[in-house]
Amino acid sequence: MTTTEPTTTEPTTTEPAPPAVGSDGAASDEDRPVGFGNLRRKEDPRLIRGMGNFVDDVQLPGMLHLAILRSPMAHARIVSIDKSAAEAHPKVVAVITGEDLAAQGLAWMPTLSNDVQAVLATDKVRFQHQEVAFVVAEDRYSARDALELIEVDYEWIDPVVDVRTAMDAGTPVIRDDLEGKTDNHIFDWETGDEAATKAVFDNADVVVKEEIVYPRVHPAPMETCGAVADVERVSGQLTLWCTTQAPHAHRTVYALVAGLPEHKIRVIAPDIGGGFGNKVPIYPGYVCAIVASLVIGKPVKWMEDRTENLVSTGFARDYIMEAEIAATSDGTIQAIRTNVIADHGAFNGVAAPTKYPAGFFGVFTGSYDLEAAFCKMSAIYTNKAPGGVAYACSFRITEAVYLVERIVDCLAYELEMDPAELRLKNFIQPDQFPYETRTGWVYDSGNYEPAMRKAMDMAGYEELRREQADKR
Amino acid sequence: MQVDLTVNGTEVSEEIEPRHLLVHFLRDQLGLTGTHWGCDTSNCGTCVVLIDGEPVKSCTHLAAMASGHDITTVEGLEVDGELDPVQEGFMQCHGLQCGFCTPGMMLTARALLNNNPNPSEGVIREAISGQICRCTGYSTIVRSIQWAANHESAVTIGASQ
Amino acid sequence: MQVPAPFEYERATSVEHAIALRERLGEEARFIAGGHSLLPMMKLRLANPEYLIDINDCEELFYINEVEGEVRIGAMTRHRDLLNSELLKTHFPIFRDAEEVIADPVVRNRGTIGGSLCQADPAEDLSAVCNTLDATCVIRSTSSERVVTMEEFHVGPYETAVGDAEMLTEIRLPLRPNGGSAYEKVERRAGDWAVVSAGAAVWLDGGTITEGRVGLAAVGANTTSIGPVADALRGATPSEELFQQAGDLAAANCSPDSDQRGTEAYKRHLAMELTRRALRRSVARANGQEA
């Protein structure tokens, strides 16, 4: 066998040498990230020893494992399910379908957005990889094997995957489980003065229009989602270890779904391997684990794999934003108008404390002093995974910032003006605070120009523009 | 089938199915839950352990294949009650937030420093390039490993005295 | 949970033992080397062999040697060792270029050249390298040994010439004087399969190319060496015009598909551009101008 030589390939780098060591061997202050100071985290001594307690680390006596069968089709009627072969597997304890849950009134659960979501599909599947059935087995390998033994007969329905055309006449209705539903519309919201904004646009020197798409992204924490449910038979107490960022909200929903009083439910959020909003919603898998433990009388663990995490759990963004900006020919921004289509997937499971996207409405006018602004938003169902979580920046702030800064850049391009200059020209001035925006939100304070100039300085903006001019 | 291997210095003999992945064997059968799993495609590296001193993704290695070999997991970094400098470095330099990728990162770092006691930043980044962290942005992980390089002690696994 | 379906496990103690096991267990048996192509497929249940024959104890297959005008590489040689090999760096720096962009350091500790070639993925980098270098493959059975060209080795996507009772044991690279080689790859993210990659190798005599070869990956059913490019390079004088001509021939003589990695047009453009760059660097290295 050839000997292993140390790798000598090195990407070139201009980073400084590692920081100096103090005379007592302890790290000098330069080692510490900015703002870290002298405090040590309490959880680190456990975590660096591998003594974390993440949900998949929980092992209880007699614990069983749950695996979920998911639909390969995005939109289909469920004609029949044959679970007999799976039930006959020697290591399988139970196989449950939507029909079984429906008999107990457990097939649907409320979402955090006043909608309902299927725990297991009953009449039809509404997004690819939607939960259709689950298996409980003695170990996770057997549970996985048993999934292949369940036969499901699907009848194709045309899937609705383009939110732009989801409201066209003749498009299949996804949420025909909702009484009286005849289209794929969820809600409309608007903010600002539509007429006043139109007047400004009609008389403006310059109008720039751009479709700005913020695609669906996924928070992808390193730890996937899962739960261990343990319903204690005698006391009726449910203990749920869960990858949750919102244990109290979850407890309320489980109380509603399981018909248990809240004081009999204990939700434990142990160590978590990242959340980023992905672990706010309540997933069918959690409810399945609870139901399984309730029915079987043993602890049941459900841990999704990475594929399941990416295809079925709470995504972020997915906004199609038609943006318009009106300005004078010398670069005074007068108004911003936007029409937004929000793709919420098959069930409205957005994790938001308000009914409407407050963050978006409050921020899409940006840091600029405007005469008028108007935003209309339509939320639409599609045959995609449900969700629309916060993720990194709450409540659609990210979408709003992308919209306003992009459309301002588009204006700069149109006016052949430096984008930094354009912004500096249009900032709300310090003496205008507290400032009420054209959509009724109050910014309490701000001093934007020095902040902008400092950022430009740190980024070497002037030098970059000089270099660019040289190379052109 | 039976497997016989050494895990963190202790000889282990267990009954397994041939298809059992090493990561599940370590976690579910031996109860060593410090090694994690986070993907289906051998990309994330939260499952990294050392096999005969080399970093390996234990989700892409059968327990059967590990029979006859030496496995080191994160639980084996501490020697006689003394933390490995890598562990100390991660605490000193805020190299972890949620801690899920950390065991794998530390083991790769330990293997790197055993072969290359004074790696440049570029070499460190290349060494951990097969492992993903969603929390830290990697800078503090690199700093933690540099701290360990500057504070090596005689008490580490695989250290040549 | 992505875990493999059940199978039986055997461990081979030598090449002879491995081949005998394969012969006995039949077509439902697969060798497992590094396992980083096979196990992911088994976890997705795209591959479900009934038997796995672990060949990691076949010590006699781990080597990189210079023998009789060839560099010979044992099939079990790990990616990491190919990356670090001074012998390969001297004669065929294309290997180091390629290994730097294959997977990641941890995967490279386990993956092997034999496993990579036998996986026969159309985007597989070492296959493109071996095509570029006009490698031959040694395939052994219980009773005999045969040597095949890369064209003969790769029968189709995920299909090789290695029969049910045979084993790939060695890869041979012919040594010629005054050579230079290089590899260029475009990938969506670190460690990914190529969108397109190109390997090039040239051998010079004075200022003329005596032999020049280009191999591409991810542009069709199998990685391929481009015959028309070799024809154009033979006897030619290196120049930017020649590199462009070779690039254009490469782009015209491959069959990329539009997929999530890119459109057909983009991939043809990459075939052209990466061929140019790889040739340029190969010539520079043959002239001793670049590390």
- Give the one of B19, B33, B123 whose C-beta lies nearest to A10's C-beta: B123
Residue C219 in contact with residue C255, Cβ under 8 Å? yes
* pLDDT tens column, A77-95: 999 999 999 999 999 999 9
**In whole angstroms, what is the distance from residue A121 CA to residue A117 CA?**
9
Q: What are the DSSP calls for A220-259, one per residue?
A: --SS--EEEEEE-TTT--EEEEE--S-HHHHHHHHHHHHT
Average pLDDT over all residues of chain B: 96
Q: Does any CB of chain C come closer than 8 Å to the CB of residue B2?
A: no
Residue A54 CA to residue A465 CA, distance in Å, equals: 49
Residue-wise pLDDT tens digits, C53-63:
999 999 999 99
What is residue A368's DSSP assignment? B
Per residue, the 3-state secondary structure of chain B, as one string, reads: CEEEEEECCEEEEEECCCCCEHHHHHHHHCCCCCCCCCCCCCCCCCCEEEECCEEEEHHHCEHHHHCCCEEECHHHCCECCECCHHHHHHHHCCCCCCCCCHHHHHHHHHHHHHHCCCCCHHHHHHHCCCCCCCCCCCHHHHHHHHHHHHCCCCCCCCCCC
pLDDT band at A387 (very low <50, low <70, confident <90, very high): confident
Chain C residue nearest residue A309, CA to CA: C1
Token readout for A161 is 């995957």
Q: Predicted confidence band at A36 (pLDDT cuts at 50, 70, 90)?
A: low
What confidence tens digit (pLDDT) does each residue in C5-50 have? Answer: 999 999 999 999 999 999 999 999 999 999 999 999 999 999 999 9
User: Sorting pLDDT into bands at 50, 70 and 90, what band is A18?
Assistant: very low
What's the pLDDT score for residue A359? 74
CA distance C44 to chain B (A): 8
For chain C, the chains sharing at least 3 beta-carbon pairs closer than 8 angstroms are A, B
Q: What is the pLDDT of residue A39?
A: 80
Nearest to B100 among A27, A44, A223 (CB): A223
**Confidence band of A1 (pLDDT split at 50, 70, 90):** very low
Region A370-374 average pLDDT: 97
Phi, psi angle pair for A364, to nearest 5°: -70, -15
- For residues A13-34, average pLDDT: 47
Q: Which residues of A touch C45 (CB under 8 A)?
A: 148
- pLDDT value at position A470? 96
- Asked which of A19-33, B29-43, C69-83, C265-279 is least confident by mean pLDDT, the reply is A19-33
Between the alpha carbon of residue C251 and those of residues A50, A232, A393, B23, C244, the distances in Å are 51, 67, 44, 44, 10
Per the CB < 8 A criterion, the answer to whether A281 and A314 are in contact is: yes
A388 versus C145: the higher-pLDDT residue is C145
Is there a cis peptide before residue B18, judged by omega within 30 degrees of 0?
A: no
> Which other chains touch chain B, taking contact as 3+ CB pairs less than 8 Å apart?
A, C
Strand C145-149 and strand C136-140: the pairing is: antiparallel
In angstroms, what separates the C-alpha of B91 from chain C's closest C-alpha? 24
Radius of gyration of chain C (CA): 19
Q: Which of B19, B43, B55 has its CB closest to that of C109?
A: B55
Angle at A78 between CA A77 and CA A83, to 5 degrees: 170
Q: Give per-residue pLDDT as tens, A423-466.
A: 999 999 999 999 999 999 899 999 999 999 999 999 999 999 99
Predicted confidence band of residue A397 (pLDDT cuts 50, 70, 90): confident
- Which residues 57-76 on chain B approach chain A with CB closer than 8 angstroms? 73-75
pLDDT class for A392, splitting at 50, 70, 90?
Answer: very low
Under DSSP, is residue C187 helix (H, G, I), strand (E, B) or coil?
A: strand
pLDDT at position A360: 81
Q: Give the one of A4, A7, A140 whose C-beta lies nearest to C3's C-beta.
A: A140
**pLDDT at res. A78:** 98
Q: Which residues of chain B register pLDDT less than 70? A: 160-161
Mean pLDDT of chain A: 90
Which residues have C-beta within 8 Å of that of residue C259, sequence separation ≥ 6? none
CB neighbours of residue A150 within 10 Å: 20
The alpha-carbon radius of gyration of chain B (Å, integer) is: 15
Give pLDDT, residue A7. 45
Tell me if chain A has a CB within 8 Å of the CB of B38: yes
What is the pLDDT, as a whole number, of residue A361?
80
For A300, list phi and psi in degrees, rounded to 5: -130, 130
pLDDT at residue B17 in the model: 98
Q: How much is the pLDDT for B123?
A: 98
CB hemisphere CA count around A41 (13 angstroms): 18
Distances in Å between the Cα of C65 and the Cα atoms of A101, C109, C146, C286 are 65, 20, 19, 21
Task: List B residues 139-158 in contact with A (Cβ-Cβ < 8 A).
Answer: 139-140, 143, 146-147, 149-151
Distance of alpha carbon A264 from alpha carbon A379, whole angstroms: 36
Neighbours of C249 (CB within 10 A): 22
Chain B contact set for C39 (CB, 8 A): 21, 42, 60-62
The answer, for A6 touching chain B at a CB cutoff of 8 Å, is yes
C contact test, residue of A1, A2, A5, A129 with most C CBs within 10 A: A2
Tell me how far CA of residue A370 lies from CA of A208, A414, A425, A427, B43, in angstroms.
15, 19, 12, 9, 48
- Please report, rounded to a whole number, the percentage of residues in chain B having pLDDT higher than 70: 99
- Show the tokens assigned to C189: 């993210």
Residues A264, A238 contacting (CB under 8 angstroms): yes
pLDDT digits 0-9 by tens, B53-79? 999 999 999 999 999 999 999 999 999
**What are the chain B neighbours of C32 within 8 Å (beta carbons)?**
62, 65
Percent of chain B, pLDDT > 90? 94
How confident is the model at residue C223, as a pLDDT? 74
Task: Map A16-81 to HEC letters.
Answer: CCCCCECCCCCECHHHCCCCCCCCCCCCHHHHCCCCCCCHHHCCCCCCEEEEEEECCCCCEEEEEE
Per-residue pLDDT, B158: 84
Give tens-digit pLDDT for A233-287. Answer: 899 999 999 999 999 999 999 998 888 899 999 999 999 999 998 999 999 999 9
Residue A355 — very low, low, confident or very high, per pLDDT cuts 50/70/90? low
Local confidence band at C1 (pLDDT 50, 70, 90 cut-offs): confident
pLDDT at A316: 86
> Do residue B96 and residue A276 have CB atoms under 8 angstroms apart?
no
Per-residue pLDDT band for A16 (boundaries 50, 70, 90) equals very low
The residues in A 35-54 lying below 8 A from B, measured between CB atoms, are 36, 40-41, 43-45, 47-52, 54
Give the number of other Cβ atoms within 10 Å of residue A301's Cβ: 25
pLDDT in tens, A40-74: 899 999 999 999 999 999 999 999 999 999 999 99
The pLDDT value given to residue A191: 92
Chain C CB within 8 Å of residue B83 CB: no
C176 CB-contact burial (10 Å; exposed 0-12 / middle 13-18 / buried 19+): middle
Q: Which amino acid is at B7?
A: V
How does pLDDT run across A114-138, given as a tens digit for each residue? Answer: 899 999 999 999 999 999 999 999 9
A270 touches chain B (CB under 8 A): no
Please, which pLDDT band fits residue A25 given cuts at 50, 70 and 90? Answer: very low
The rounded mean pLDDT for chain C is: 96
Query: In the predicted model, is pLDDT for residue A422 greater than 70?
Result: yes
Chain A hits for C64, Cβ within 8 Å: 2
Is pLDDT above 60 for A368?
Answer: yes
A138 at B interface, C-beta within 8 A: no
CB within 8 Å: C52 and B42: no
**Residue A299 pLDDT greater than 80, yes or no:** yes
Q: Which of A167-171, A255-259, C138-142, C236-240 has the lowest mean pLDDT?
A: A255-259
Please provide residue A268's backbone torsions phi and psi, each rounded to the nearest 5 degrees.
-105, 120
SS3 letters for C47-108? CCCCEEEECCCCHHHCCEEEECCEEEEECCCEHHHHHHCHHHHHHCCHHHHHHHCCCCHHHH
Nearest C-alpha neighbor of C200 from the set C187, C216, C186: C216
Cβ-count burial A342-361 (b if 16+ within 10 Å, e if not): bbbbbbbbbbbeeebbbbbb
d(CA B55, CA A7): 14
Confidence of residue C291 (pLDDT cuts 50, 70, 90): low
Give, as one character, the DSSP assignment of residue A211.
E
pTM for the structure as a whole: 0.92
Nearest CA in chain A to B133: A222
Cβ contact, residue pair A1, C62, below 8 Å: yes
Contact status of B52 with chain C (Cβ, < 8 Å) = no
List Cα–Cα distances, A150 to A65, A307, C59, in angstroms.
17, 20, 44
For chain C, list the strands marked E by DSSP.
Answer: 8-11, 29-32, 51-54, 64-67, 70-74, 136-140, 145-149, 154-156, 159-160, 167-174, 179-187, 194-205, 208-217, 224-225
Let me know: does A357 contact A320? Beta carbons within 8 Å: no
Does A15 contact B at CB distance below 8 Å? yes
**Predicted confidence band at A13 (pLDDT cuts at 50, 70, 90)?**
very low
Give the residue carrying structure tokens 């059967």: B64
Is ipTM strictly over 0.95? yes
CB contact under 8 A, C8 and B43: no
The residue among B128 and A356 whose pLDDT is bigger is B128
A165: Cβ contacts below 8 Å, ≥ 6 apart: A171
Nearest to B101, CA basis, from A273, C46, A192? A273
CA distance A402 to chain C (A): 24
Question: Residue C117: is its pLDDT beyond 90?
Answer: yes
Q: Is B78 left (phi over 0), alpha (psi -120 to 50) or beta?
A: beta
Q: How confident is the model at residue C221 (pLDDT cuts 50, 70, 90)?
A: confident
Region class of A35: left (phi > 0), else alpha (psi between -120 and 50), else beta? left
Enter the tokens of residue C124: 């597989």
Would you list which residues of chain A are within 8 Å, Cβ to Cβ, of chain C?
A: 1-2, 4-7, 9, 67, 140-141, 143-145, 148, 303, 305, 307
Residue C48: which of C10, C4, C3, C8 has the closest Cα? Answer: C4
Contact criterion met (CB < 8 Å) for B98 and A48 = no
Position A11 scores a pLDDT of 47
Q: Give bridge partners of residue C195 from the DSSP assignment.
A: none
Query: Among all residues of chain B, which has the CA nearest to that of A13?
Result: B122
Strand partners, B101: none
Spatial CA neighbour of A189 closest among A399, A401, A379? A379
Provide the pLDDT confidence category of residue A35 given band limits of 50, 70 and 90. Answer: low
Closest by CA position to A8, among listed C106, C120, C84, C246: C84
Q: Please write the tens of the pLDDT for every residue from C225-241.
A: 889 999 999 999 999 99
Q: What is the pLDDT confidence band of residue A14, given thresholds at 50, 70 and 90?
A: very low
